[in-house]
Amino acid sequence: FPETVSNPKLVLVQGTLNVVMKQNVTLSCLCEPGSPPVRYTLFKHNQQVSALNRSDLTPALFTLTISSASNVGEYKCKVEYNNSSGGKYSNSLNFTLIEPISKPVLSSPTSQAKKGQNVTLSCFSENGSLPITYLFFKGTQNISPQKTMQKREAAVIFLFINSLSDFGTYKCKANNSFPNNTKYSNGFNFTLAEERSHSQPLIISLGLILLLLIIGLALAIPFFIIPLYKASE
């Protein structure tokens, strides 16, 4: 019955296409219309994974356990009738492994700042499936729109230190599509840089002048003052 063979449909009946390690997923492959018996074969890329025979028009169910990264990728099924040559392939389903993110690190090129200065903060999670979304906080207040990074790179924000209230504890949080996996960073604090007084250079200069005068006076005593004192006796 070659003419009765149509392309089967491969659908996901349990689980999601974004999978985590040790997750079970079930695929259903069915060809309609058709005349039993039918052989269904599941492939990952070009490698056979499993095969089932059906003597009725019920779908073939394939259950997979995601035990390693090699279990994710593109799957298709193939349908064949006993007295048909070749076979036909279904649509494809592509599984993606998602991994939990690691604790993000919040950092800045400088730990000291002064009023009127621009500073930057960067938040980076080294591990975890992309994309990763970052959000920055000062205390419990959100200080930036969320930043979604499609590449393995840090999210960066720019801050203007306007007053002493801008010196406090900053944090960021990161999450991705892995369920229940929001992670918070370490706390980061800017310290107030000491501002040198404008009078300091003047004080230093006056001190040096006074020191030179004392040294000059000490040198003048044996050569000028003592001879003059003796001459007046």
pLDDT-derived band at 6, boundaries 50, 70, 90: confident
pLDDT-derived band at 85, boundaries 50, 70, 90: low
**CATH numbers and ranges of domains, the chain:** 9-97 (2.60.40.10), 105-192 (2.60.40.10)
Nearest alpha carbon to residue 89 among 36, 42, 34: 42
Looking at residue 51, its amino acid is A
Candidate from 33-47, 71-85, 100-114, 199-213 with smallest mean pLDDT:
199-213
| pLDDT for the residue 170 | 96
Q: β-strand 169-175 against 188-189: which pairing, if any?
A: antiparallel
Contacts of 37 (CB under 8 A, 6+ apart): 53, 54, 55, 81, 82
| pLDDT for the residue 1 | 42
What sign does the dihedral 208-214-219-225 (CA atoms) show? positive
What's this model's pTM, rounded to 2 decimal places?
A: 0.64
Q: How far apart are CA 114 and CA 91, in angstroms?
A: 61
What sign does the dihedral 72-78-32-53 (CA atoms) show? negative
